[in-house]
Structure formats: structure tokens, C-alpha cells
Structure 1
Amino acid sequence: MTAEILSNQFATLDNGTRLHFASAGERGRPLILFVHGFPEFWYEWSAQLAEFGQDYFAVAPDLRGFNLSDMPADVAAYKARHIVDDLRLLIAHLGYQQATVVAHDWGGAVCWNMAIALPALFEKLIIINSPHPYLFMQALATDPAQKASSEYMNWLRNPGSEEALAKDDFALMDGFFNGMGQGEAAWFNAETQAAYHACWARGLTGGVNYYRASPLHPPTEKNPGPLQLNLNPADFQVKVSTRIIWGENDKALPKTLLDGIENFVDDIQIQRIPEGSHWVIHEQPERVNRLIRQFLQS
């Protein structure tokens, strides 16, 4: 028996941003918040909403810039602190003081920052294939292999990338799911593709603006990116109980990004899935659900 998913819900936050979200389960139960990455939307978490809505109030928002949520025109509106603020206000809007947070890709980048800045908001944090910001900054600045793996970020930052992504009925976008996996992705079937195409047709500029607003990208002659950051590792400590699920066959975010994570998180455990790609949530939803459940019960 799985929980019914309700979409087409909206929250107008105290900062004026209007977010769309889907949910499953009864409000008043413990809140578990699922935060998507690029180029996804709440639908990424369908299997998790159905599972955890049985005993939690499970909520998956569309982040600002995605799908049915507001899409500010200003690139600066996509800096991490604004997305963190959206999530903080969403938790309050839903009537909660704390949440367990599960996050992937860009959602993970935002939620690492939120856990560092606002640890009291968290019961627990579960990160799936999203590097700790300080370790990612170091890798982009010093590791040639990571620079090469992340070169797509600079392409996405360029003017007009959203038009290129939309060309030929989102052929490049479909390729993210197929090419970054292990060949043709079995999970990316016609129904799922149709859902994503409908999302992408609403606009891609917001999602691409996450890359444009971030200093974390491979350095170039014109934009040194992480090379100009003078960051203190002491400012990036995570005091929240954290579990990481990592598909180790991730072409963009290799498992080496986990090296040294224990220096930044007091309470950390890592579950590695050697054959899992960046899209392990889609590839192995039951396994991901089981790993999340184990953490919640520990």
C-alpha cells in the first residue's frame, strides 16, 4: 500500500516567492522534505513520496525557477542564500519548525548550505550525489579530472544555453538522462519523458541560472570562479546528523568528491552504490527508499 500523491499545491512565502509542491501523507505527521536538482522537478521524488507518505508528511517542492514555481528574471535571485530562504520559509508555511531533508544534485548543494547555516531546522539530512561545497570548491580549483568532468557547467552558464537545451524537442536534455547513465536509461520511459518535457516547456532559464549565479564552476581565463574564493573550512562544518547515498558511476560528480567529508560532518555515514549513476534515485528507487528508511529508524 502506497500513499496518494497530491500535486498542484502552492505556497506563497513571506519573501513573496510562490512555490509549487506535491505531497503525500497527513499534515501533522513528521515532515520529510525532498529537494530536487537540475534538470528535474518535484516528480523526481514520486517513488519517495508514495513510500514515505505512509508515515510522514512527505513534501517535494519545485524550487524557484523550475516547473510551476516562480521564475525570477534576475540571475542574482538564484544565489544559494535565496533558495535556502525559500526552503526555510516553506517549512514554516507548512506549520513545522524542523524537517528531515533529502536532497539531490542542486537540491543537495542548497541543503548543504542550509544545514551549515540553519542546523536547528533539521532533524536529519540525507544527501544523494551532491558534493559538500568546500570539497567541491577545492576539486574545481585543483583537480584537472574534476575540472574536465564539470566543464558542462561553463557551457550552461553561457548566454543562449537554454535555447540549445530546448532544440529538437529537448534532445540534449534527454541525453542528460541517457548519456550520464549507463547507456539508454530504462527508467526514462515514454510516460516519464512526457512529464519532463512538459516541465521543460515551461522554461529552462531559471534552472540554468543556478549555474550562472554560482561561483562554483571550473575556472576560466575570464572568470576564475573558485580560484578567487578565500574560504575558511571552519565555516563549512555540518552539525546535523547526515547520511550520504552515492551512485559511484556518476560521470559528473565522481566518488572522489567524498574524500575528506569526515572532516566537515560530525555525524556521517556513507552508503555507496557502485553501479549507480547520477540518476540512482530513478534507477533503484526501492533501494534508495530502503536506505532512507534505515537512516530514519536508526
Structure 2
Amino acid sequence: MHPDIQTWQQALPHGITLSCRASGEPGRPVLMFLHGFPEGAWVWDPLLLHFSRPENGGYRCVAPNLRGFERSSAPEDVKAYRAKHLVQDIVALIDSECSACQHSQPLAALIAHDWGGAVAWSLANQHPQRIGQLVIINSPHPGPFLRALQHDAAQQAASAYMNFLVQPEAAAQLAAHDFERLFGFLTGQDTSLPSLTSPTADNRAHWLTPAVKATYREVWQHGLQGGLNYYRASPLRPATAADPGASAVQIPPEALRIEVPTLVLWAQDDVALLPCLTEGLDAHVPALTLVPIEKATHWVVHEQPARVIQEIAAFLQPMGDRSVQ
């Protein structure tokens, strides 16, 4: 682990503990990073190190492992992974981190990918006063996502992998043979499991080095069921004969509104979350900056970290200028 990355177990008032990683001085404006499945807080390390440097804003950069992942609390009850509980965790962590902020401001920005983005969308809707800016990376806003799952055949097919991940045997199958199928999920090499990597993007899996694989393996050895419970707890998945999924869902308009200034980065070769999921997004997010990233897949944070950092830095710059005065 990098010497400038601190790790600790953060006990929250409601009985959940999150294992956290951070870089930067406590008391500085806070950037918080939320990961997705099947990842962990460690995937943000390059961004934690970058944005904590004085010349890049000098932020306090914090990345929790969400509940169910790595050494964070992993309740067995699937209902414990509903959005309201996940949001409660991050609100409590924000309050803990920002209580020491010298500038008496909310979280400077919440930056999130995949399932972390689902939590971030909900938090920004319900607690806009707690965050200054929002950055979403390939994580669909619930409005366009619900519409696509109900009416878009291409997105329904692209999301079919979710119906495997909710099965009782999914964790055991993904872990078998040294996580062979789960690594296939990352690279597209296992054609028996729907992949999040485009078949035309084989050369982009260069990021999955032996060291990166070892880190993934270490995280997964703590258990996969917590992460899979996110899929089981949410109805936003394609309908099947046995499960109505998204076809039975209605979301009130007020639950879709995002008033926080928002940057959405969307890798255009994500074969599970198609570019159509950004269509009509400005109807729900008035202060929207949408940046498509070509020749990148769902794993764009691994594939193009410099580009991701560049776009986030440009978006944060006005707030960054204020924060270092």
C-alpha cells in the first residue's frame, strides 16, 4: 500500500462500520469516492493521491468500502442493502469527515462509479445540502435507467447479467476456481457470463496486471455476497417470467430531481450500461455537464485514469480555487 494512503475502520452511529482509505490532511475540503461492484475503495487510490496534493487542491480525499464489501459491515439481510440504508451510511461518514473541515462547508464533491453512483444519485436527491458538487462515472440515473429497462430492448439485453447475479448460487459460482468467472466478468474472456467489457476491447484489459488481480483477489476473499445483495435488494433489473423487476416500478418525479451541479462521465463502450442512459438526463439534472469518453469501457477508471482525473479537475476548479484561499 502507498505510504500516503491511510486506512481505518469508521464506526457509524447507527451500528455499521465502514473500512476506509484516505489521503490528505484532515480539516481540508473533502472529496469522497464511492466504488461499485465487484470493486473496492482501493480502485480510487490514484485519485486520492492526486487530489490530496497541494498543487491539485489539497483536498482531504476519502474512499469507504461500501457496506458488504471488503472489511466493512456485511449484514446478512438483503433488505439491509436498500438505498435508504446505503445513503444513511454515507451521510454519516460525510458528517464525520466534514465536522473537522476548517471551511465549514459541505462535502466539496461526491465522486462515484457503478453502484457507488446509485448511492450518490439518491444522496444528492435527498441531501443536496451536504454536497457541493457531484461526479458520476458510468452509473445510470434512476429515471433514464427505469425508462430503458421498461422500454429499450437493447438495454434490457445489456442488463441481463443482473438476473444471474441475483441467483442464490451466484457467489459460489463467481468464486470457484480462484474467481475465474469473476475475472472473466472484468475482461470479457468468460463468455458463459455476461461481461461488462466489450469483445472489441481486449487490448484495454492491460490494466488487469498480476498486481491488480492480486488486490482484487484479496478484496473478494472477504466475501462476495454483500456486493451481490445490492442487485438482490433493487428492483431495477430486466423483467423475467418469474420476476417483474423494473416493469413493476414507478418513481415519483421529485425523487429524480438533482439540483447539485453534476458532472457525468460516460465511457461509450460500456456494453452493460449503454450510452442511451444519458439521454434526457438534463430533464432531471438542470446543472449538468455530460462528457462522453470514447474507446473506454465500464472500467474507465482503470483504463484511463489520467483522463478521468483531468475531467474531474476541470469540473472542480471553481470550488478548488475557493477552497485553497
TM-score for the superposition, normalised by structure 2: 0.89
The residue type paired with residue 271 of structure 2 is K
User: What is the aligned partner in structure 1 of residue 150 from structure 2?
Assistant: 141
User: What is the aligned partner in structure 2 of residue 74 from structure 1?
Assistant: 77
Instruction: Confirm whether residue 252 of structure 1 aligns to residue 272 of structure 2.
Output: yes
Secondary structure class of the residue paired with 1:183: helix
Secondary structure class of the residue paired with 1:94: helix
**By how many angstroms is 1:4 displaced?**
1.5
The residue type paired with residue 133 of structure 1 is P
Instruction: Confirm whether residue 63 of structure 1 aligns to residue 82 of structure 2.
Output: no
In the alignment, the residues of structure 2 paired with residue 159 and residue 134 of structure 1 have an alpha-carbon distance, to the nearest angstrom, of 28
User: What is the aligned partner in structure 2 of residue 210 from structure 1?
Assistant: 230
User: What is the aligned partner in structure 1 of residue 117 from structure 2?
Assistant: 108
Structure 1 unaligned blocks of 5 or more: none
User: What is the aligned partner in structure 2 of residue 41 from structure 1?
Assistant: 40
Secondary structure class of the residue paired with 1:67: coil
In the alignment, the residues of structure 2 paired with residue 235 and residue 150 of structure 1 have an alpha-carbon distance, to the nearest angstrom, of 23
**By how many angstroms is 1:135 displaced?**
1.0
> 1:190-229 counterparts in 2 under 5 A?
190-229=210-249
User: What is the aligned partner in structure 1 of residue 202 from structure 2?
Assistant: 183
In the alignment, the residues of structure 2 paired with residue 279 and residue 23 of structure 1 have an alpha-carbon distance, to the nearest angstrom, of 21
Contact map agreement 2:98 2:106 (CA 8 A) in 1: no
User: What is the aligned partner in structure 2 of residue 121 from structure 1?
Assistant: 130
User: What is the aligned partner in structure 1 of residue 106 from structure 2?
Assistant: 98
**By how many angstroms is 1:11 displaced?**
0.7
TM-score for the superposition, normalised by structure 1: 0.97
Contact map agreement 1:36 1:103 (CA 8 A) in 2: yes
Contact map agreement 1:3 1:53 (CA 8 A) in 2: no
User: What is the aligned partner in structure 2 of residue 162 from structure 1?
Assistant: 171
The residue type paired with residue 186 of structure 2 is F
User: What is the aligned partner in structure 2 of residue 29 from structure 1?
Assistant: 28
Instruction: Confirm whether residue 242 of structure 1 aligns to residue 251 of structure 2.
Output: no
- Provide the alpha-carbon RMSD of the alignment: 1.3
Contact map agreement 1:3 1:51 (CA 8 A) in 2: no
In the alignment, the residues of structure 2 paired with residue 223 and residue 31 of structure 1 have an alpha-carbon distance, to the nearest angstrom, of 41
Give every structure 1 segment of 4 or more consecutive aligned residues whose post-TM-superposition deviation is greater than 3 Å: none
Q: Deviations over 1:188-231 (max 9, x none)?
A: 10011001101001100000000000010001122112211222
The residue type paired with residue 127 of structure 2 is L
The residue type paired with residue 5 of structure 1 is I
The residue type paired with residue 61 of structure 1 is P
In the alignment, the residues of structure 1 paired with residue 127 and residue 135 of structure 2 have an alpha-carbon distance, to the nearest angstrom, of 15
Q: Deviations over 1:141-162 (max 9, x none)?
A: 1111111100110110011100
Q: Deviations over 1:110-141 (max 9, x none)?
A: 10011111111111000000010111011111
Instruction: Confirm whether residue 53 of structure 1 aligns to residue 56 of structure 2.
Output: no
The residue type paired with residue 153 of structure 2 is P
In the alignment, the residues of structure 2 paired with residue 77 and residue 87 of structure 1 have an alpha-carbon distance, to the nearest angstrom, of 14
Secondary structure class of the residue paired with 2:289: strand
Structure 2 unaligned blocks of 5 or more: 100-104, 189-195, 319-325
In the alignment, the residues of structure 1 paired with residue 114 and residue 164 of structure 2 have an alpha-carbon distance, to the nearest angstrom, of 17
Task: Report sequence identity in percent.
Answer: 42
Secondary structure class of the residue paired with 1:151: coil
